[in-house]
Structure formats: C-alpha cells, structure tokens
Amino acid sequence: MSNKLIDFQNISKTYGMQTVLDDFNLYIRENEFLTLLGPSGCGKTTTLRILGGFETPDAGRVIFDGKDITDLPPNKRQLNTVFQKYALFTHMTIAENIAFGLKIKNKSKQYIHDKIKYALKLVNLDGYENRMPDSLSGGQQQRIAIARAIVNEPKVLLLDEPLGALDLKLRQDMQYELIRLKNELGITFLYVTHDQEEALTMSDTIVVMNQGYIQQIGTPEMIYNEPENAFVADFIGESNIISATMVEDRLVKILGVNFPCVDEGFGQNKPVDVVIRPEDIDLLKPGEGSIDGVVTHLIFKGVHYEMEVMANNYEWLVHSTDMFPVGTQVSIHVDPFDIQIMKKPESEDEEAVNIEE
Amino acid sequence: MKSKRLLAGPYLFWSVSFVIIPLLVIVYYAFTSDGGTFTLANLSQITTPENLKALGISLLLSFISTLVCLILAYPLAMILSQKQVNQTSFIVLIFILPMWMNFLLRTMAWQTLLEKNGVINSILGFLHLPALEIINTPYAIILGMVYNFLPFMVLPIYNVLIKIDPNVLNAARDLGANPVQTFLKVTFPLSIPGVISGITMVFVPALTTFVISDLLGGGKILLIGNVIEQSFKQNSNWHVGSGLSLVLMIFIIASMALVAKYDKGEGGTAF
Ligand SMILES: Nc1ncnc2c1ncn2[C@@H]1O[C@H](COP(=O)(O)OP(=O)(O)O)[C@@H](O)[C@H]1O
Ligand SMILES: [Mg+2]
C-alpha cells in the first residue's frame, strides 16, 4: 500500500451552469479499498466515470500507474467497472457475458472456459453458464457483473453503488463477499456509495464528499471517531452536534457547562462545534454527572435503547443498553476522549469547501 | 371482470364486421367459380406466366426497397436516438411531417418531379446535365416505395435503440470493445426486434401496393397488387382477385413466420 496507482490531479467538470467537480485532487494506492462516500448528487459517479473514461474532465489530468490516461478511450484502460444497475448483456448467456472481454482480447477457448469456471466459483454461482441474465435475481446479476469484470484481471475495479438495488440481508452478505474478493484477488477497489455503514464496513480508506468537494479522508475509525467538521459528523452515523466554546486547551464549554476534553490548539474562547456520539453518553443519577435532565423519548432498537434527554434546552440523543423510562431524572456524563472538537465553519458556504490534505 | 370484457365490445364489433367478414367473403370467392361451385382454379391463376412474373417482380422490388430502407433507416435511427430528448422530438417531427400528407399526393408529387419534362429534368437541363430517365422504370417504383415506407422502418428501430441502457454500451467499451465491436456485438443484436418490426412494416405494404406502381411505373410494370386490382376493377372477376389475394396472404404469413422463427432463435421479442 505504498505507491499511488491512481492520481486525480486538479480535476474540474461542469455540466452547463453546474460545477460538479472543482479542482478535485485525490490519489489511490495500490491494493487499497477506497470508498467515495457522500449524499446523492455530490459527484461520486462523475468521478468514477472520469476514471473509467466515459467522461472527459474540463481541466486536470488523470494519472494511472504513472501514465497520463486522461485522453485514453475506455477500452484502452486497464480497469473495469461494475455499473449501478448491473448493465449485463441481456441477449447473451451468463457464460457469454463473462467471456465478452476475453473474446475481444482473443484469448484461447480453453483459457476462456477456465476463466468462466473460476469466476463463477468465485462469486458462488457455479453451474449458471447457460442461464440468461433476466432469469437471475438482482443479487445474482450483480455478482455476474462482478465476475464479468474481474476475469479481465484489471488493476482496479470500479464499483458504482453496486449493492444499492439489493435488500438489506443480501446487501450485508454481499459486503462480506466483496471484502473476501478483495483479499483473494489483491486488486485495488474504488467503491462508490451513499451508505455510510457500507463504507465503514468495507473500506481501507473513506473519502467523504459533499457538493464535489472532499470533506475528509481517513480510515473508517478516523472518520467515525474524529470527524473534522459537522457535515462529516452528521453524515456518518447519528450524533449530537452542538455549538460550543473552546475555553482553553482541554476544556470546552457546552451549553454553559465546562467539560474536560483532550483537544488542544483551538485557541482561547473560540467558537467550535462538538460532536458527541449517542453511545458515548452515560446516564447517571441526578447530580452525579455534568448536566441534569429528564428523559423525553424512549424507543427499543434491539441492540440498545434510544432515548432523548432534555437538558439545558438541548435534546441529547442517547444510546444505552440500560433503560430509563420517559420522565426519569438523569444526569449526563461524557468522558473527555469521547468529546470531538471541530473548527466551526466561518460561513455557510465554507461547509462545502475543499479541506487541506 | 364481466364489465371489463364488455369494454372489448366495440373492438370486437369492428373486427368482426370489417376484418373477419370480408376475409370470409374473400375465402368464399377464392374457392368458388362464377356458378358458385367449389374450385381451385382461382388459386392456380397464380401459376400463369404473367402472374408469376408479377409476383416475382413484386417480391424483388419489395425486397430491394426493404433493404434500402434498412440501410437508410438504421444510421438515421441511431443518430436520432443519441440526441437529447427535446432536440429529438423536433427532428422526429420534421421527419414525420411528410407522413401527415396524403400518401397519394406524395406519390403524385414524385410523378411530377420525375416526369420526362418534370421539375428535376428541367433543372438538370438548365444545368446542361443529362436528363434523368427513371420514370416508368422499376427504379422509380423502388424510389416511391422507399420514400413512402422509410418512416415505418425508422420508428421501430429508433424505439428499441432509445431503450438500450447507455451503461450497457459503456460496459462493452469498459470490457475492451472499440466502437465498431460495441455496435456489432451489443447495439445491433439488441436492436434486432426493432429491425424485424421495421422489415415487416415495410415489406408487407411494398409487396401489396398497386398505387406506387400505377403512378411511377406508368402501368408498364405490373406488380401482383396491380394484377389483383385489375381483376377486381377492370375484369370485374372477384373470384380470381380473391384467389390471388389469398395466395399473396399466404406468402406474407409464411415469410412473417420465417422471420418470427429467426427472431425467436435470437432471443428477441418482436412479436
Ligand atoms: N450528463 C449530465 N448532464 C448534466 N448534469 C449531470 C450529468 N451527470 C451528472 N450531472 C449532475 O452532476 C451532479 C453530480 O452527479 P453524480 O456524479 O451522478 O452524483 P452522485 O453519483 O454522487 O449521486 C448531479 O447534480 C447531476 O445532476
Ligand atoms: Mg451516482
């Protein structure tokens, strides 16, 4: 995981009046599972299409394995795409679908035959050679689309929300399948999704995007535990995002109450945003914690209870395995390392601005 | 359920009175002689040398016309299908506009254009170019057929092409196919149902037309349609006309069955 396999350099793309990507920079290392994560319409597919060769950037270069491929047509690029809605060839059998790329490259009959067998085994669909795509379920079609791509031994596999059309159970199974595939094949994955859980489960690196700008790049743990701004915190999982004041290093005033924390370097008496994950809040007896309040909502979620606690005019979202009925007087406690401090954006616009890498 | 079935009433009435009954009448006339006795003589009229020749020319000219239509229509449909939607509707409109004019008028217009001293030859003469002498030849008939039936080839092909998911074509490119390979291996096979509908919709009217050959062939070239028309109108022999019609119908049904069978083999769904 060292050298840059793919390097987007200063990519810009505009459709009519709409700027989708503006001076976009990102590199992907060899064997990395990198996920572009962001809300619908933030430019994920556009980024993928530029790498696949289906879209030409207005400015900037795409470097692949040290070579500039910006002007190369899709069929000359050593990467393969798994499209959002499978895009199988409905007039061909499964075997013909998988053989498509190999036949174009004039591989021998024996080689193609072996590859089809191998790929179908890999995606757990042995024996489906002579079926037509229409006779397969969505999950099966998606696996064929993956098989069709990987038999070409691409250096990079691009996947555009490949699990988007599947139901929850199947989606979770496929997530494990993809991780397994990645480990078995040792190729680089560029994955696109708007589903934060999917991104957290599978990725080595997550790139959080909003309106064409990168918000944060990091490992799933970093993105979840140390979101760099309110957008990331809000997008990744549920959280309490509260305006606060950084009194001094390692002390933050939240809703008028001083909380010890572990962050430094924000200056004195500076406005900040704090993020506190619902599962990081402990509910104690009144008077024992930092802020007293009362439970206003209670929902059983299976693994935990979800509660809302009204304290100092703020509805705190709390996840706990202990149950506190509505009306219970409680006190909120947060450990210092569970408080994540973020620089406040100076204006609304800045919320969508490119961060420094 | 019952009330829904009633809704089919008007259509049933229509098809019984204007399709099924006339068809039965034709079958009756085809198999009877003037005196009303059963005979196969009307059907075997097709084997007279003149009628066989007319059928042969009809098959040949409609085959050529269908082929020319296909060659012209496919690229046109492809260009149309790749345009943006609003742009397309305008282009499609321009293209369909002539269809709103009466078929007879359009064909007569060609007659005027192609005549020995017609518009085209006047212009050619003015430019000191040799005159075009295709009026009253099979070429003029092919021209008339292609001109009149081309839209029926373009539209079904256009309809299947716009339904192809662009990502399916992208997938082909992604897997290493160049644009020509993508067309041959993906676009064209996926469009076969439209091509077959187009062929049907051009070949059948071309095979049975008598107006185009009347106007542009100058009555010198008899198509099977003209023969049938003459038996009904000039000779007032409904029996022979019906017999020939029936034979022609069998020809059409047989060729469509052939096409449908081929289509099934390809996994398409034109019918
Ligand atoms: N071909 C196109 N023409 C015009 N606008 C487009 C086109 N493709 C994408 N867009 C616009 O660009 C923005 C980003 O799209 P996309 O990259 O598909 O987002 P995402 O995949 O993150 O949902 C969207 O607002 C979309 O409407
Ligand atoms: Mg998308």
**For B52-106, how does the pLDDT look when each residue is reduced to its tens digit (9 = 90+)?**
999 999 999 999 999 999 999 999 999 888 876 666 677 667 777 777 788 888 8
Q: Is any ligand 1 atom within 6 A of the Cβ of residue A331?
A: no
Residue B30: the pLDDT is 92
Same-domain check for residues A177 and A247: no
Q: Determine the atom of ligand 1 nearest the C-alpha atom of A49.
A: 17
* DSSP conformation letters of B168-227: HHHHHHHTT--HHHHIIIIIHHHHHHHHHHHHHHHHHHHHH--HHHHHHSTTTS--HHHH
Q: A293 - beta bridge partners?
A: A330
A147 to chain B: nearest residue by CA?
A: B175
Same-domain check for residues A215 and A95: yes
Tell me the C-alpha distance between A173 and A178, whole Å.
Answer: 9
pLDDT digits over B209-253, tens only?
999 999 998 878 889 999 999 888 888 889 999 999 999 998 888
Tell me the C-alpha distance between B219 and A258, whole Å.
Answer: 105
For tokens 């059983």, the residue is A300
Task: Please tell me which of the candidates B165, B170, B268 has its beta carbon nearest to residue A74.
Answer: B170
Task: Please tell me which of the candidates A73, A83, A132 has its beta carbon nearest to residue B167.
Answer: A83
Tell me the C-alpha distance between A274 and B245, whole Å.
Answer: 87
Residues of chain B positioned with their CB less than 8 A from the CB of A54? 170, 173
For tokens 């406690």, the residue is A333
Output the pTM of the full model: 0.82
CATH of the domain at A262: 2.40.50.140
Residue B117: the pLDDT is 83
Same-domain check for residues A167 and A258: no
Residue A355: the pLDDT is 45
Is-contact B242 B232, C-beta < 8 A?
no
This model of the complex carries an ipTM of 0.83
The token pair that represents A189 in the structure block: 């994955």
Residues of chain B positioned with their CB less than 8 A from the CB of A105? 176
Same-domain check for residues A180 and A264: no
Is-contact A29 A5, C-beta < 8 A?
yes
Residue A346: the pLDDT is 66
Give B266's pLDDT tier (boundaries 50, 70, 90).
very low
Q: Is any ligand 1 atom within 6 A of the Cβ of residue A209?
A: no
Task: Please tell me which of the candidates B175, B189, B268 has its beta carbon nearest to residue A104.
Answer: B175
Query: Which of A226, A270, A52 lies closest to A149, judged by CA?
Result: A52
What type of residue is A298?
L
Burial class (CB in 10 A: 0-12, 13-18, 19+), B21: exposed
Residue A230 in any domain: the answer is no
Same-domain check for residues A70 and A135: yes
Pocket test for ligand 1, best of A13, A21, A40, A46 (most atoms within 8 A of CB): A46
User: Would you call B168 and A80 a contact, using CB atoms and an 8 Å cutoff?
Assistant: no
Task: Please tell me which of the candidates B175, B178, B267 has its beta carbon nearest to residue A100.
Answer: B175
Domain range for A29: 4-225
DSSP for residue B38: B
Residue A109 in any domain: the answer is yes
- Phi and psi dihedrals of A45, rounded to 5? -60, -40
Same-domain check for residues A97 and A175: yes
For tokens 């599978």, the residue is A202
Q: Is any ligand 1 atom within 6 A of the Cβ of residue A41?
A: yes
- Phi and psi dihedrals of A164, rounded to 5? -55, -35
Half-sphere CA count of B70, side-chain side, radius 13 A: 19
Helix (H) or strand (E) holding B104: helix B103-114
Strand order in the sheet with A270-276: A257-260, A251-254, A240-248, A270-276, A340-343
- Phi and psi dihedrals of A30, rounded to 5? -65, 140
Residue A304 in any domain: the answer is yes
* DSSP conformation letters of A271-321: EEEEEE-GGGEEEESTTSSSEEEEEEEEEE-SSSEEEEEEETTEEEEEEES
Tell me the C-alpha distance between B266 and B271, whole Å.
Answer: 13
Residues of chain A positioned with their CB less than 8 A from the CB of B189? 91
Same-domain check for residues A295 and A345: yes
pLDDT digits over B113-171, tens only?
888 888 888 888 888 888 888 888 899 999 999 999 998 999 899 999 999 999 999 99
Q: Is any ligand 1 atom within 6 A of the Cβ of residue A138?
A: no
Return the domain boundaries, chain B: 31-261
CB atoms under 10 Å from CB of B119, counted, come to 12
Residue A234 in any domain: the answer is no
Which of the residues B175, B188, B190, B269 would you substitute to probe the A interface, choosing the one with the greatest number of A C-beta atoms within 10 Å?
B175
For chain B, report the end-to-end CA distance as a whole number of angstroms: 27
For chain A, report the end-to-end CA distance as a whole number of angstroms: 18
- Touching check for B165 and chain A: CB below 8 Å? yes
Residue B268: the pLDDT is 41
| Strand A188-193 to A33-37 pairing | parallel
Count of H helices and E strands in chain B?
15, 0
Q: Is any ligand 1 atom within 6 A of the Cβ of residue A43?
A: yes
Same-domain check for residues A218 and A244: no
The token pair that represents A321 in the structure block: 């395995």
Considering A193, A225, A257, which residue would you say is the last residue of a domain? A225
Residue A321: the pLDDT is 93
Q: Is any ligand 1 atom within 6 A of the Cβ of residue A36?
A: no
Q: Is any ligand 1 atom within 6 A of the Cβ of residue A245?
A: no
Q: Determine the atom of ligand 1 nearest the C-alpha atom of A46.
A: 17
Residue A167: the pLDDT is 82
User: Would you call B171 and A74 a contact, using CB atoms and an 8 Å cutoff?
Assistant: no
A105 to chain B: nearest residue by CA?
A: B176
CATH of the domain at A133: 3.40.50.300
Is-contact B147 B67, C-beta < 8 A?
no
The token pair that represents B224 in the structure block: 């099977």
pLDDT, averaged per 10 consecutive residues of chain A (357 residues), comes to: 85 94 95 95 95 96 95 95 93 97 96 96 92 93 94 94 84 87 89 93 95 95 91 90 93 94 91 93 94 95 93 94 94 94 68 45
Same-domain check for residues A205 and A261: no
**Cβ within 8 Å of A, B 183-212:** 185-186, 189-190
Residue A233 in any domain: the answer is no
CATH of B31-261 given 3.60.60.10, 3.80.10.10, 1.10.3720.10, 3.40.50.300: 1.10.3720.10
CB atoms under 10 Å from CB of B228, counted, come to 22
Considering A198, A225, A252, which residue would you say is the last residue of a domain? A225
Domain count for chain A: 2
Ligand nearest to the CA of A36: 1
Same-domain check for residues A119 and A73: yes
Bigger pLDDT: B256 vs A38: A38
Considering A201, A225, A249, which residue would you say is the last residue of a domain? A225
